Amino acid sequence: MPKWTPRKWDTADIRDQTGRTVLVTGANSGLGLRTAEVLAGKGAHVLLACRSAERGRRALERVLATGGKAELVPLDLADLSSVREAASLVRERTGDALDVLVNNAGVMAVPLGRTADGFERQFGTNHLGHAALTWLLMPALRTRPGARVVTVASLAHQAGRVDLADPNYEVRRYSAWGAYGQSKLANLLFARELGRRTRTADVDVTSVAAHPGLTSTELSATMARAQGNPLLGLGARVTDFFSQSVETGALPQLYAATSPDARAGAYYGPDGFREMRGHPAPAASTTAARDDLAASRLWDLTAKLTGVEPDPS
């Protein structure tokens, strides 16, 4: 790995994005909305992929206020029929020309629930939905020189374990945080395998991963409401007190999406103590996140579960 030269990279370092088209999932709030605002303000045509039409419209107004070009794309990652429809719509609207896909959306530590297709909600939304979307959009990414897929992971991957025999908690006892950690580890394994397969197939699409450290977003509050536990709500507020802003938390994924120095297959996060706060720098991943055999097996299992043809195959 090249030696990292410390410098405080921020949005001022982002080059003009005019002529580039970017799709950001979960762009209605938090990190996704910030990413969309910044890239639109830099000249990119940004597609805001949102589940809620109402929240999506409000987010669109904020993004358009930057003076940039943006539009909404309905997307519910917990419903594979919606994923297929969104991919088809994006390919049609862009004329099969997509420069960057930012797989940002996610749910965190929610009670056991099922997606429209019967998958455990966090694994189904955070991993399966994004993997299917990525594969379905590869024809649009392939046409653009230097296209990128940015996968947003989490520090929680460090405690994750992907159970390939029971990823949807149909047999084992459910753990909200265990399921979240599994989904975030799956994100990193998918990003790794996508990078390996694009290189092997000589496809000019770069796979990069990033995480926001400890950032104050709506995920903590949403998790507390979903659990219905006042103590969790208090814990979420305490966590938010020590967290960095969304503006800073979004920097690693913005770096991964735009910097000419971002390396294929790399993982970026904050440069501060335990990667919880700070500016973009190479991030640490666990041995489990670098397991090529597990990544390959997850890739095949994902194709089987989603019914989507992997690309590259």
Active-site residues: which are they? 180
Which sign, positive or negative, has the C-alpha torsion 62, 64, 69, 74?
positive
In angstroms, the CA 161 to CA 167 distance is 9
C-alpha separations of 177 from 112, 182, 299 in Å: 11, 8, 23
244: CB partners within 8 A, 6+ apart: 213, 214, 215, 216, 270, 276, 277, 278
Candidates 153, 212, 216; CA nearest to 185 is 153
In angstroms, the CA 68 to CA 250 distance is 19
Three-state secondary-structure class, residue 110: coil
CA angle at 156 for the pair 282 and 35, rounded to the nearest 5°? 60
* Phi, psi (rounded to 5 degrees) for 162: -90, 115
In angstroms, the CA 310 to CA 40 distance is 30
Axis crossing angle, helix 218-227 with helix 230-242, rounded to the nearest 10? 170
Residue type, 157: H
Beta sheet of 21-25, edge-to-edge order: 69-74, 45-50, 21-25, 100-103, 147-152, 205-210, 267-270, 280-282
For 138, the enclosing helix (H) or strand (E) is helix 130-142
